[in-house]
Structure 1
Amino acid sequence: MSLANATRSELTKQFTTSMWWILAIVLVVYVGSTAGGLAAAFGGTASGAIGADVGGVPAMSAEAVPPLIYSLATAVGYVFPLLIGTLLVTGEFRHQTLTPTFLATPRRGVALSGKALAGVAVGVLYGVVALIATVGPGAGILAAFGVDTALGDSGTWAMLGRIVIAYVLWVLIGIGVGALVRNQVAAVVGVIVFTQFIEPIVRTISTLVDGLSGVLSYLPGAASDALVGASIYTTLMTGDGDGLPWWGGGLVLLGYAVVLLVLGHLLSWRRDVS
């Protein structure tokens, strides 16, 4: 089977299951409600409608609010493309559908490449969905408070494009994780624990230790924030800092994807399937 046919087959398998749209709905609710709530809080303080001391909401300039709100798509939502990429592979191991996949595509490198290309399409889809969920309510609420939405700024649209790129890279990282860790439960739990607990805790600790933040800027979540160019985490916890440039963050995130895909192929993907 050619790479094009393998990619088409992977897309068919992905979109004939319910998992992709269930995760998409959860993504919309999660990032949309977060964007709406924070847009009201920060937009209110930036416009003066809400006192900066109300609810402990820090005051920030009106220019800084829109990118912070829009970047919530990745800052809090990157776990979703990571999960869908992981499930795209581990689901085959769990439901034992990988055997017919390999029978149809004996060249396993082609099969994994087909999954990766299908993952690119899924990443673009999820990225667009996340942007609609954040930019829609976020910009609407900011406009209601009289705060410039910055949607007429080319820099804002460049950031939105980088958010979609980040989603694609996170899906590819997830595919690499799924290829390397065959057990679906272990892979999903590992993804959630690392993204929601380990890395946030480590990044928080790094703000208290001199010289550590520069090293930890190479963590995947930090690299994703650098690629996008804005993040509520870096704004509220670490300030502007000396993090990676956007292209550096993109290269680091791409490096994670390539390394995990290669390791998954070499260490797990080529093994016998029971």
Structure 2
Amino acid sequence: MNARELYAQAVSIFDAALRAVPADRHAAATVCAGWDLRALVNHVAGEDLWAAELLAGRTIADVGTALDGDLLGDAPLAAWSAAADAAGKALVEAADDTPVALSAGPTPVDEYLRQLAADHLVHAWDVATAAGTNLRLDSDLVAAVTDWFAPVEEAYRAHGMIGPRPPLAADAEPQDRLLAMFGRSEALAATERFGAAFDTQDVDAVMATMTGDCVFESTAPPVGERHTGADAVRAAWQRFFAEAGEHRFTTEERIAAGDRVIVRWRYDWPAGHVRGVDLFRVSGGLVAEKLAYVKG
């Protein structure tokens, strides 16, 4: 896939993810430390406004501080669209053999576009995750960005541009691998979506975070009750919510290890509380297993 196609498709995926965000989630936290959703969109819009300037032949000094601060105003979606359109128009006029004046030095247009494509693609997943959805990225784009990023991953990490790579299962899926390269854990995101849905006691929302062949093992003594398949697990949740009364789960810690996540929790009800752990297995961004254990 050439760099222009890669960039255009990544922008389209980011745009679709942003337009799918529910109105009540526009201030949601993201996996990017210190950024809520608006701050993340402001960053990506800023990148495209910079691209419009740099692809037109201007330098960082030429632009100065014009693109600092809030770029979204009162209409974030419209501002983002305008930024993406400006970059796209500048790209039409940009020659492939004209270097772009980046802070790292003159950079070929092809390389610059691959940098931008990677950022848009990964941040599209960030946007969807903040909105509580499981975004499956196009496999060809995942492969193209992975191939480009693999040789430079450690340099990016050494300069503090990405976080530590979380542990991965040996047979991790390509999307899991790409996200881990950029310091993200799809397994953690999946269990957080499950927890948020569980707190609503909405069985449909809970099941939307689980695979069709999911498994749930409860804490019922002595060895737990095992429920296999979506129908059986759905029925288990329906019984639990109907019988639980006033209760609250509080997550104390999440630890990711490849496609598995350990969640330490405390469960409170009017007469007391217990503490326990869930062992999750995640597949394709969905919970495939939830095995629960409690201090007895």
Higher strand proportion: 2
The structure with more helix, counted as a fraction of residues: 1
Higher RCO (C-alpha 8 Å, min separation 6): 1
The TM-score normalised by the length of structure 2 is 0.27
